[in-house]
Structure 1
């Protein structure tokens, strides 16, 4: 993509394989993308005044200030590129600039063409979207969480309204009806801040068919879990090194919101129908690893003890005890019930009472409480 006003960095962003441009002070520029990180030579960024001038100019383009009083900035440029910059002395060795380039995913089919998603697993993910499952996308930094989330949203029917909440806009799904809300930092005096938690509450009043949070990384996880657990369909991303680490990550985020671990896990079990894991290899290749779901503690106790795989990286069903699921079409595989009913078995319910798994989860949670 051609991004104006980036000066000597513009040619780097013209390469469609580049996802990140990193300036680690004067004369030290790296790019990331297919093939992994590599160092590149860029003229006119050999001195600290040149790098700092570029950072200050980019911050001004985003409507932000960057100086000794505000020595860092995290913002979105008019082109959609995400900017992060830090000045000395917070950044040792000179001004540091990080640029994240938005790329249109084109849906799950585009991910299949790149080799990061198999056809079997793609069918499973389409089933989750079709059955309106609430999904959490997880993985480490730079693994493609936002790309996968955008691809999932591109599979949503045109008749649905998406309301997306982000710190800085990165999600750009190919969908005709998208509403975007973006958080606002406080000014120099610390006034005027609008956080993600506030925006999630506002989004719920905007008639969302699907509520989407670009990334849960703080106390806003409370509002997200409450919204998804109360019947709203949605999706979000969360950083975790492996899907098995997601419960601990949610507990940590919930603690920042004043929730105790048991409450956080009960809310997560009610709110999140599936966890989709992505990873990145050392050579920069990003892949979708599989779909995970909740497993109860010993003896079927609640809160759940862990996340376990339901569908592996090549799209095959993973069978664990009585938890046999056909995620490819979003159904149970026995009686055609909604994918949200996967918790019937874990709750000890056979589903014959006609109630769905979401209600069953609440029933068990209330009994234990």
Structure 2
């Protein structure tokens, strides 16, 4: 996300962003300058031992940095171990979360065709508010007012966009606008949402162990969350059949909930949800009825002119046996 605009008195130095504090582990020593850099959003180690870093303008190679195959494998194993999971030949792929919301994914050969792969997703060290995002150019004043109205009126929200478009950042800022007396319960496959709110309860799914035991699914966590008296129930990123859990949760009478879904454009959202619903065993008609009942507004974000922007806000409506999105200028009621 671009650095928020801050008024600086003439002649004064521009404020510096706080640096991250990555885990203190010897295997990460060569990555520490990039992990700590507040402008870096992603760090990638490829199978050939090359390092790529994204500072918001695309992944760029780091000249002079390389890792031998054994060193890259050791770094991948250590990175996953720091998140409490195991990476080896029997479990060659793993996804974990470090403290501070840093998300790490690693893959070992032979799943990776040319050496260990490590992908590290780095959240901004700040927790930007809606005001911060507005100053950064994500939306104008009129859109900011509409977004605040959606939260105040407890409309169920679906934030959509491509990878890295700012879905999680915007959702966290929106939830930060909720009243301090409200209890927010978030359910995620890997916990990434960091909300500036005094009453935020986080639940994270757990993968089964090598014997296939001990797993805790999103569906199970939704059922647990409903017993925790949430004022706002949030199911994080949906990539597959967990869309069933998102829509089911938002259809339980709990207004003000939210979730995120990948979609390349706002017009693609209906087809995307229908595809995810099919993975959950739902037909198109069922998906349509569930979406229109559960979701009050879809907020689509994407990159435009080199920065992240809110590109559209729409309301799901039934259309024949399916559904579509229609633009709406006001959201006075709940979902």
Normalised to the residue count of structure 2, the TM-score between the two structures is: 0.88
Aligned Cα RMSD in Å? 1.7
> 1:8 and 1:187, CA in 2 relative to 1: closer, same or farther beyond 3 A?
same
> 1:27, 1:42 within 8 Å by CA — same for their partners in 2?
no
State the match for 2:87 in structure 1: 66
SS at match of 2:99: coil
Q: Is the 8 A contact 2:108 2:116 kept in 1?
A: yes
Question: C-alpha displacement at 1:56, in angstroms?
Answer: 0.8
Is 1:239–2:281 an aligned residue pair? Answer: no
Deviates more, 1:78-87 or 1:129-138: 78-87
> Partner residue of 2:12?
none
Alignment correspondent of 2:148: 126
- Give yes or no for the alignment of 1:2 onto 2:21: yes
Q: 1:42/1:63 Cα in 2 relative to 1: closer, same or farther (>3 Å)?
A: farther
Whole-angstrom distance in 1 between the partners of 2:215 and 2:262: 24
Moved over 4 A (4+): none
Structure number with bigger Rg: 1
Q: What is the correspondence of 1:179-190 to structure 2 with a 5 Å cutoff?
A: 179-190=201-212
Deviations 1:94-147 (A, max 9, x none): 111000112243211111121122111111100000000000000011111111
Which of the numbers 316, 320, 326 marks the counterpart of 1:308?
A: 326
Aligned to 1:223: 245
CA offset at residue 223 of structure 1?
2.6
1:53 aligns to 2:74 (yes or no): yes
1:139 equivalent in alignment to 2:164: no
Report the Cα offset of residue 282 of structure 1.
Answer: 7.7
Q: Give 3-state SS (helix, strand or coil) of 2:41's partner.
A: strand
Q: What are the within-5 Å matches in structure 2 for residues 58-207 of structure 1?
A: 58-103=79-124, 104-207=126-229
Three-state SS of the structure 1 residue aligned to 2:89 is coil
Number of corresponding residues: 311
Q: 1:79, 1:293 → 2: CA distance?
A: 34
Structure number with higher strand proportion: 2
Conservation of the 8 A alpha-carbon contact between 1:29 and 1:42 = no
- For residue 198 of structure 1, give the secondary structure of its aligned residue in structure 2: helix
User: Contact 1:279 / 1:286 at 8 angstroms: preserved in 2?
Assistant: yes
Kept in 1: contact 2:289–2:318 (CA 8 A): no
For the Cα contact (< 8 Å) 2:292–2:317, is it kept in 1?
no
Q: Which runs of 5+ in 1 are unaligned?
A: 311-324, 332-337, 341-369
Displacement of 1:40 after TM fit? Answer: 1.4
CA contact (8 A) 2:241 2:280 kept: yes
2:43 pairs with 1:32: no
Residue 254 (str. 1) matches residue 277 (str. 2) = yes
